[in-house]
Structure 1
């Protein structure tokens, strides 16, 4: 009786510049993957279309090895694969759906994380919003369910739903439900002012979702300057809604990250109080981050000096030592950066962002006017590969201590391509250590984004 291997559905090969060739499959929301070589890929595909005895005979001739020896080698490989991906044998050729698909490009890093700005509309007006979101904006991402299915089929592991304010999208609950059911990790970025009961029922107890909410400070008075063109009583209402939202998530056993945006030196001194406040209202984790100089945030860039950046970094590290399991370790000073070389943060390679007007950009920090190409959903994989090759950031190390030691902006730039690019004109190309150590090709790539 002829025997064929029968793989589970949703098996795939990913071609990736950094990881090489990966063989994996998706079980419910989880991805299981192992690194293989091209001979193993060829073997897997042969065993899907030919009986095992045919493959053994063919490989015995091809490699001039006895059938017994080649059989042992083949089954040794299959046993190793079986430790990660279940393999069964059957008496018939497998269904086409069980034959692994192949995605990616060995010359590029294929994305596994995607941020989707499902709308640029927002019901509040934060002074530092990098997207310039407001109530007058009207963009809602087209065909969101089709886009999400494509991202799922392309083996995106982590999906981030953001805006604007995601709750304002008419299909928000439907979008979020699909993400929770189909992606390994879901991050929702919201202002926390919309208390839709369907939302709380949907997310209750779900372990693959993280909700992120930004707060202006530890007191309602901190909201007066945070929300522009807004009366004090409405600012207080926004503040109170955010706190209630976080407390509701705590009761529903939902992981909640509380974020504090530092765009003014005065806010550095308040960080200790804000951390304690965030912990007391039910946050699962906390992070403080510097203002992103895009959109309305561009107007806040001059509020902070290089000395303020240093003070911020030191204060955050001190707080991290006080609250090691609460404050997230995403500050560049604590990231595993090679002091002499650096690393790639993944913007425009491991990670992509899709805007509400259907444009692709390297990450949420970049303004959409830097990217001029709209996505065609029917050509999605080719569109991604085409754009990533134009971003080409996977070849560029982020600013690191090795390149930026002694620079007054090091506490601002280290660990982030976007921040480094924004500071090059201010520092000067001839004085920026990061820029000077780039190759000619890397400089050409970066100069596309200098403004």
Structure 2
């Protein structure tokens, strides 16, 4: 166990929120079709407006007193918050190890040089495609593609660490190989996500199990293909071997599967929390069933309540007794967002992982042939 693993284990055991996500605003200069949070400034004003720097820094200081070390600034597009620099500087002065989520389109030389003065642990740039055309189709902002490419160059020149996140959708799946190649070229890691949460938050609960996303079969194939493109052969072959144990869905009688009580098994509500742009604290930004307003609570009191609710929370989806659970890794947020309740069967996940299982075998076989070919050369 690494020192970092020990730190997280101790935080979970003692209820120390080592990390927290601060969703500064839901406003963005992109209009991504699968986004789960985006609102216009008009909608934001109608719902009470944005919290200013003083409000955010007060909550962040309270979180620091509880043990927070790794804050994440996110949105929407957080750089659009009028007080972003004041908030960031305040966290730096607290000695925090900051990460920032951004689409990158606003980062020019001035922003890059400003970040370089007191660099974050990293800036997580979401990469949405490999061309202006793809950015236009997915984000409604084709001109952003060149700006994002420039932003990467500016940040690299300034010595600011960059990590890519890649959300794969029907509009950009054809660019997957190109996006991974771009990340390799600029020597930054890339994390590919082919599962898109239903935008339940954005649509006030009317989109359970729905999104403008890949079919589950396409998402599973894209997941396996992304791993084939970037993983070491040994890991890919090991992953294929693990998925050989995936039980085909037509061999499972879900009505007869014994359900067992499950608890939230991630860091959410145990060693991390999320504060949304309206001032509510929750254990997970994708699971809003448990949240408390910070209007009349301290962060400490809200965190105590949140931890208690998280520890007491039980749910019994079909997943709990399914032999494929170790491979699917479904969580309470996925079950809730797919089914509209916490005890259903997230069929999309079942089908996505069944597809991944089949395609891992195909790409593993391709990998074996490539290894054999290289050995004979």
TM-fit CA distance, 1:278: 2.6
Of residues 343-352 and 294-303 in structure 1, the stretch that sits farther from structure 2 once superposed is 294-303
Largest Rg, 1 or 2: 1
Cα distance between partner residues in 1 of 2:108 and 2:234: 33
Cα distance between partner residues in 1 of 2:318 and 2:268: 13
Query: What's 2:190 paired with?
Result: 286
Give the conservation status (yes or no) of the 8 Å contact 1:192–1:241: yes
TM-fit CA distance, 1:345: 1.4
Cα distance between partner residues in 2 of 1:431 and 1:213: 29
Q: Deviations over 1:282-301 (max 9, x none)?
A: 35210111222125695963
Query: What's 1:359 paired with?
Result: 280
Q: Deviations over 1:78-129 (max 9, x none)?
A: xxxxxxxxxxxxxxxxxxxxxxxxxx997x7332110001122222222121
Q: Deviations over 1:297-318 (max 9, x none)?
A: 9596364333223213311321
Q: Does 1:111 align with 2:23?
A: no
TM-fit CA distance, 1:198: 5.2
Q: Does 1:301 align with 2:220?
A: no
Cα distance between partner residues in 1 of 2:217 and 2:9: 45
TM-fit CA distance, 1:153: 1.7
Structure in which a larger fraction of residues adopt strand:
1
Q: Deviations over 1:127-149 (max 9, x none)?
A: 12111233433432351121121
Residue 346 of structure 1 is aligned with which of 264, 267, 280?
Answer: 267
Residue 276 of structure 1 is aligned with which of 168, 175, 181?
Answer: 181
Against the structure 1 CA distance between its residues 360 and 274, is the aligned structure 2 distance closer, same or farther, given a 3 Å change threshold? same
Query: What's 2:122 paired with?
Result: 210
Against the structure 1 CA distance between its residues 252 and 135, is the aligned structure 2 distance closer, same or farther, given a 3 Å change threshold? same
Against the structure 1 CA distance between its residues 33 and 293, is the aligned structure 2 distance closer, same or farther, given a 3 Å change threshold? closer
Query: What's 1:312 paired with?
Result: 222
Cα distance between partner residues in 2 of 1:154 and 1:310: 40
Cα distance between partner residues in 1 of 2:330 and 2:37: 21
Query: What's 1:243 paired with?
Result: 149
TM-fit CA distance, 1:190: 1.3
Give the conservation status (yes or no) of the 8 Å contact 2:12–2:271: no
TM-fit CA distance, 1:184: 4.5
Q: Does 1:131 align with 2:46?
A: no
Give the conservation status (yes or no) of the 8 Å contact 1:349–1:388: yes
Cα distance between partner residues in 2 of 1:399 and 1:256: 39
Which runs of structure 2 are paired with 1:92-241 in the superposition (5 Å)? 109-136=15-42, 137-138=44-45, 139-142=49-52, 143-195=55-107, 199-204=111-116, 208-227=120-139, 230=140, 235-241=141-147
DSSP-derived class of the 2:293 partner: coil
Root-mean-square deviation (CA), in Å?
A: 4.2
Against the structure 1 CA distance between its residues 284 and 394, is the aligned structure 2 distance closer, same or farther, given a 3 Å change threshold? farther
Against the structure 1 CA distance between its residues 343 and 205, is the aligned structure 2 distance closer, same or farther, given a 3 Å change threshold? farther
- Equivalent residues, number: 310
Cα distance between partner residues in 2 of 1:430 and 1:279: 37
Residue 417 of structure 1 is aligned with which of 326, 332, 345?
Answer: 332
Give the conservation status (yes or no) of the 8 Å contact 1:256–1:283: no
Cα distance between partner residues in 1 of 2:79 and 2:143: 18
Cα distance between partner residues in 2 of 1:374 and 1:418: 20
Any stretches of 5+ residues in structure 2 without a counterpart? Answer: 236-241, 244-259, 350-377
Give the conservation status (yes or no) of the 8 Å contact 1:352–1:363: yes
TM-score where L is the length of structure 1: 0.58
Residue 255 of structure 1 is aligned with which of 157, 161, 169?
Answer: 161
TM-score where L is the length of structure 2: 0.68
Cα distance between partner residues in 2 of 1:149 and 1:132: 27
